[in-house]
Amino acid sequence: MKKSTLALSIAASLGGLGLAGNALAVTDVAGAATGSAIYRNDNGIGHQLVFPYYTVQNSNATLLSITNTDTTNGKLVKVRFRGAANSDDVYDFQVALSPGDIWTAAVTMDATTGSAKLATSDKSCTIPETIRLGTNPTFVLDRVDGGSAAQTLEGYVEVINMANIPPLATDETAPVKATALFTAIKHANGSAPCTAAVLSEKLGTDGTVAVLTARGLAAPTTGLTGDWIILNQKSTAAWSGAATALEARVVTIAGNVVTSNEPSTANLVFFP
């Protein structure tokens, strides 16, 4: 992949994330902070991650990991693979991370179709469930020019924390209660229940902020970090790095001096 092409692709990604950043700037969830800007966080933790490159060409495979450093809240995360040539959406799904959870996967080439495919043995919940079960791993060709499998073989990855999944919720009839959604995605003995009926009911469709909050979602806080490794399966050579982290923050300026710059709660932006 040419560096100029990669640069343009990442620029397109960041442009899209910039629009998401505008959405992140204000939140209408009661009690949540108001983010005023998005910053690249040098410590690698944020609301959104960009993995700058994946490839399965020339006997390469790409290994990805996404970590939820928040040990209290679960995270509902959108993972989207984009092709290198035109930033086409070639594969996307959701991962429900338990508090302190690490989700891992590998991207390789499918010998039958010639397109990229995803493999994971991770026990975190996914929507659709076929991602976790490994029954539908091949990248899709609906959005690429000419339906060419080659368009899926390299690109980059966007990861967006759409919402927190808090352990407790409040409502008028029960001031504090455990949420069914949190119970469904919370790991116990190394595996989450991933109760299909609960995930389908709570995450099957979008809705207003009030509806999503009632289902057990909340405005997202920071806490995502990620790493990648590109491994050549013939030579065993490897290249690795950290995902770029983008974080919503509250910035206070007095005169020309920044007096505070703290991580903030962002907008709940659930899109199945």
Residue 271: beta bridge partners? none
Q: Which residue has the higher pLDDT, 237 or 19?
A: 237
Q: Give residue-wise pLDDT tens across range 116-144.
A: 999 999 999 999 999 999 887 899 999 88
Residue 154: beta bridge partners? 55
- Predicted confidence (pLDDT) at residue 84 exceeds the cutoff of 70: yes
Instruction: For the chain, give every domain's residue range.
Output: 3-161+218-261
Q: How far apart are CA 252 and CA 23, in angstroms?
A: 19
For 158, phi then psi, to 5°, come to -105, 140
Q: How far apart are CA 258 and CA 272, in angstroms?
A: 37
pTM: 0.85
Reference 231, options 111, 112, 109; nearest CA is 109
Tell me what pLDDT residue 218 has.
Answer: 94
- Predicted confidence (pLDDT) at residue 25 exceeds the cutoff of 60: no
Q: Which residue has the higher pLDDT, 149 or 254?
A: 149
Q: How far apart are CA 253 and CA 232, in angstroms?
A: 48
Tell me what pLDDT residue 24 has.
Answer: 35
Q: Give residue-wise pLDDT tens across range 43-57.
A: 999 999 999 999 999
Compute the residue count for the chain.
Answer: 272
